[in-house]
Structure 1
Amino acid sequence: MAAFALAAMTPVPLLILGALAGGVWLWAGFLYMALLAALLDQLIPYVAGDAPEGQEFPGADALLASVGVSALALVAVATWAVAGPSGLSAGQRLLMFFGAGFWLGQVGHPAAHELIHRTSRPLFRLGQAFYAAILFGQHASAHRLVHHRHVASDEDPNSAREGESFYRFAPRAWWGSFRAGWQAEDALRARAKSRRGLHPYAIYLTGGAVALALAFVLAGWPGVLAWAGLGLHAQMQVLVSDYVQHYGLRRARLPDGRLEPVGPRHSWNTAHWFSSAMMLNAPRHSDHHAHPSRPYPALRLPPADEAPRLPWPLPVACTLAFLPRLWRRRLGPHLRRWRENAPPLTQP
């Protein structure tokens, strides 16, 4: 737990000090997110072991809550620093925007992703609040109710097809998840025969409006633009992680017409230690799909002959995905090799 906390939370005080004082603090926070994780992953080829089956992690949820609250605070501080009377130079404002945006997408999002899978109502609401704050509230519904059910199939808007560029995938996934999540919430409420309380999408839209109103209070219309820009920056990282972690992987159709059960073969994983700690084990994606409620410190890394592995740390793979030709050229051989060597399908 100490490794998760140190890797995930270190940039927060650096960025907040940078918002107040600029200078070396801003550079430290930005370079931590933009460079350090990739360097440590490559320079120290260490793979963290799996936790013993059944081990408990009493501090896991406390760290999630700390990251979630820090994310809500950081987006407000960053908005003020970028668009308000912070006294930062234009270059320092750019460093703040990208440093905070990287942290929101690479640490805040993995934490919120875990929070919306928790059964505790306050923790779940905190995860919803994060996604509403980055103007992407639909993810709290679509991820749980659509993505986990239909992953690696054409019914899931957040599973990328082979050859599809990120720039074609992103608008399809954004709008598709908004619509599919809304429909799934409507169906859930209808089955429960209860329409009491606000519809989740009313919460998301209201939360987004409140966030932009706070941005206006902090820095006027430039603050609204800065907050929306930070939200878009974080959203792109959410979408590109979905793009990368399921790119080209498809569930087979069984003789009876049903899709094969979701298994390790339907998610790309990475074995890099530092980015996994910083991203709260989000790169161990196959095990998350197999056990959505499993605490993130307990997620296991499947053997390479059971689940496909990316050759790069997840942040590096996501960067490559923004360069479609390079992405297809570099990942194509790994995808073909996986398909040739994948274990045979075991039918239920």
Structure 2
Amino acid sequence: MKNLKKIGFFSALILPVLFILGFYLGGIGLFIIHVFVFVLVPLMDFLVKKNSTNVPKEFISKVAKERFYKVVTFGWVYVQLAVLIWAFFQVSKVDFSWWEWLAFTSGMALITGGIGITVAHELGHKAEKLEQLYAKILLMCVCYMHFFIEHNRGHHVRVATPEDPATSRFGESFYRFWFRSVKDGYLSAWKLEAERLKKKSIPLASWKNQMIQFTLLPIIFIVLVTGGFSIYFDRLIWELPLFFLAQSILGFSLLEAVNYLEHYGMERKKLANGFYEKVTPLHSWNANHTVSNFLLFQLQRHSDHHAYAYKPYQVLNHYEESPQLPAGYSAMILVAFFPPLWFAMMDPLLQNWREKTFRESVQ
């Protein structure tokens, strides 16, 4: 069973395979990756029994240190870069129709945004420089490098409070949330970095300012890529910047969709001293659907991640007291795209959960 669970974390590699296979099948075959993510994964989540088991306490330290789990995430970085470069070649030489271009671009976004940002999120929490470097490379691929600052130093501090751009409010649609989270998250990262530099007496206009680096590096990357491919094909490949920007927007929009459903309506109490209560497993929505948890490196056990951000993905716990989503992320993202359906499904669940936790707190 242990080895079978390890194999499950390789399931993310299915997406690059389907993406490339869909390209060579051509036509509607380009949508095979979309069908897998948004149809087959939710179906398998429904059919396969949920997994609420946790790693026994006496084995957590051992499992957390197993090199296998780190190798899986490290390996993804190279797979993603290889697929992205391959995609650059296809965009440079293939005459896509408008719908084929859309299918190809959004398929790439499912890789860079759906899995890539998930891996970057995992690696970005680690203290080792190599893991942080890999996280930054993955985020560069979707023009969202400021996430490295805002998520670790902003979101984890302010989650489930009005001060957090990445916490969706009760009654807030995904589209309104998207605009607020994207804008305010970027501005917050600048503020956090300015505060860090001020403490070290480093001027804001310095290359040591990570926000200057994070803003410029994706631009430098695609300029160099476009220049290299233009020389190789002996023409200006103007399609590459357009493709890179489009798949980036779609990619980080997937991240924001996940942010939207992870903390929808969650609120921490403000204490008499002006601070908020400690983050607990009660402040994130969870989903123990087996298939999508393998695909997303157990990101759906989000409560434990926020309560103990240092824990690696393989030892994240399930908590019965945490609010539970009715389906895995793949299905719930689709629901979030249709606000009336989202509110009809989630608002009663949120209200029932709030009433339950209130009753339990006064007992």
> TM-score, normalised to structure 2's length?
0.87
Q: Is the 8 A contact 2:52 2:318 kept in 1?
A: no
Query: Any residues of structure 2 matched to 1:35-46 within 5 Å, and which?
Result: 35-46=39-50
Which amino acid is 1:320 matched to? V
Q: 2:35 aligns with which of 26, 31, 38?
A: 31
- Partner Cα distance (1:37, 1:170) in 2: 24
Query: Per the alignment, do residues 27 and 258 of structure 1 end up closer, same or farther by CA in structure 2, a change over 3 Å counting?
Result: closer
Q: Is the 8 A contact 1:132 1:205 kept in 2?
A: no
Q: Is the 8 A contact 2:150 2:186 kept in 1?
A: yes
- Partner Cα distance (1:108, 1:234) in 2: 9
- Partner Cα distance (2:125, 2:343) in 1: 32
Query: Per the alignment, do residues 9 and 210 of structure 1 end up closer, same or farther by CA in structure 2, a change over 3 Å counting?
Result: same
1:10-43 Cα offsets, whole Å, 9 max, x none, are 2223323444564797454343223221111012
| Post-superposition offset of 1:345 | 5.5
Is there any run of 5+ residues in structure 2 with no aligned partner, and where? 231-236
Query: Per the alignment, do residues 129 and 14 of structure 1 end up closer, same or farther by CA in structure 2, a change over 3 Å counting?
Result: same
SS in 2 for 1:10: helix
1:234 paired to 2:251: yes
Q: 2:76 aligns with which of 67, 76, 100?
A: 67
Which amino acid is 2:339 matched to? P
Name the % identity: 26
SS in 2 for 1:316: helix
Determine the structure 1 residue equivalent to 2:322: 307
Query: Any residues of structure 2 matched to 1:114-263 within 5 Å, and which?
Result: 114-193=122-201, 198-217=208-227, 218=229, 220-263=237-280
Determine the structure 2 residue equivalent to 1:341: 356
| Post-superposition offset of 1:5 | 3.3
| Post-superposition offset of 1:91 | 5.0
Determine the structure 2 residue equivalent to 1:332: 347
Determine the structure 1 residue equivalent to 2:337: 322
> TM-score, normalised to structure 1's length?
0.91
Determine the structure 2 residue equivalent to 1:280: 297
Q: Which structure has the larger Rg?
A: 2
1:113-144 Cα offsets, whole Å, 9 max, x none, are 01111111011011112212211111111000
- Partner Cα distance (1:241, 1:335) in 2: 17
Q: Is the 8 A contact 1:138 1:204 kept in 2?
A: yes
Which amino acid is 2:196 matched to? L
| Post-superposition offset of 1:9 | 1.1
1:47-76 Cα offsets, whole Å, 9 max, x none, are 152222323232111111111232233333
Residues paired across the two proteins, number:
343
SS in 1 for 2:293: helix
Runs of 4+ residues deviating >6 angstroms? none
Q: 2:16 aligns with which of 9, 12, 25?
A: 12
- Partner Cα distance (1:324, 1:205) in 2: 32
Q: Is the 8 A contact 1:240 1:318 kept in 2?
A: yes
Q: Is the 8 A contact 2:271 2:277 kept in 1?
A: yes
- Partner Cα distance (1:262, 1:173) in 2: 20
Q: Is the 8 A contact 2:261 2:285 kept in 1?
A: yes
Determine the structure 1 residue equivalent to 2:233: none
1:95 paired to 2:103: yes
Q: Is the 8 A contact 2:174 2:260 kept in 1?
A: yes
Is there any run of 5+ residues in structure 1 with no aligned partner, and where? none
SS in 1 for 2:9: helix
Q: Is the 8 A contact 2:298 2:313 kept in 1?
A: yes
| Post-superposition offset of 1:334 | 0.2
- Partner Cα distance (1:18, 1:86) in 2: 14
| Post-superposition offset of 1:44 | 1.5
Query: Any residues of structure 2 matched to 1:40-55 within 5 Å, and which?
Result: 40-47=44-51, 49-53=53-57, 54=60, 55=62
